[in-house]
Chains A and B, each alone.
Chain A
Amino acid sequence: NAGVTQTPKFQVLKTGQSMTLQCAQDMNHNSMYWYRQDPGMGLRLIYYSASEGTTDKGEVPNGYNVSRLNKREFSLRLESAAPSQTSVYFCASSENEGRNEQYFGPGTRLTVT
């Protein structure tokens, strides 16, 4: 039982490049989330998926897109990376949205130069 897995663990991009962060969970959870963590700002929600087939914007969605590929997988895409997107990205899942415990992946450290 791996929980929540994320790939890659580290990535360096040049401004304007694109990439997709992958996330998968094996807990049969309905809800999945993408956060970014920046020093002094805690975790900010980028996008979430309350259930398979639905996605919604969070607090900081600009510059990102998401796909809920199936119940297990939730990917985050940066179409044209900018230095302001340098951050640590966490994927999380929960049984249902909002009030349930969230389980976090190990994170992806992204640097955009």
Chain B
Amino acid sequence: AQSVTQPDIHITVSEGASLELRCNYSYGATPYLFWYVQSPGQGLQLLLKYFSGDTLVQGIKGFEAEFKRSQSSFNLRKPSVHWSDAAEYFCALGTYKYIFGTGTRLKVLA
């Protein structure tokens, strides 16, 4: 079955600290993977995407993600978090339609 799991519902980090948000997927073929961010009261904005090729992909706002086929993972990272990064983050698997994870809400401490 096709699925996306985001194991962490909430994560709290201090401003300036590094961040890693986890995403695991289940899919039989080469996955198309996406990370979206949703600020409060807003729609979703694409951070980055993986289709093929280089397994480390760069996105907007200083985010990057690494695709690891052996671990069925596509974790999102940022070296130094800013207060404005506080939001909800969604991982998605693109097959003939999207499958979203349940999201991880990030809180940033000043």
Known interface pairs A40-B102, A42-B100; A98-B45 also in contact (CB < 8 Å): no
Interface size on A, residues (CB 8 A): 23
Cα A40 to Cα B6 with chains together (Å): 11
What separation, in Å, do the CA atoms of A40 and B104 have in the docked complex?
9
Residues of chain B within 8 A (CB-CB) of A107 are 41-43
Interface residues of B (CB under 8 A from A): 9, 32, 34, 36, 41-46, 49, 51, 90, 94-98, 100-103
Q: Is B9 a contact of A42 with CB atoms below 8 Å?
A: no
The CA of A75 and the CA of B24, in the complex, are separated in Å by 33
For the complex of A and B, 4 pairs with smallest distance between CB atoms = A104-B43, A42-B102, A99-B94, A99-B32
B43 touches A45 (CB 8 A): no
Chain B residues positioned under 8 Å from A43 (CB to CB): 44, 90, 98, 100
- Among A73-104, those with CB < 8 Å from B are 90, 92, 97-104
Instruction: Flag if B43 contacts A98 (CB, 8 Å).
Output: no
**CB atoms of A97 and B43 under 8 A apart:** no
Q: Within 8 Å of chain B (Cβ to Cβ): is A58?
A: yes
Checking B43, B51, B100 against A106 with a beta-carbon cut-off of 8 angstroms, the contacting residue is B43
24 sample A-B contacts, Cβ–Cβ < 8 Å, listed by A number: A4-B43, A40-B102, A42-B101, A43-B44, A43-B90, A48-B97, A58-B97, A90-B44, A92-B44, A97-B96, A97-B97, A98-B95, A98-B97, A98-B98, A99-B94, A100-B94, A104-B36, A104-B43, A104-B44, A104-B45, A105-B43, A106-B42, A107-B41, A107-B43
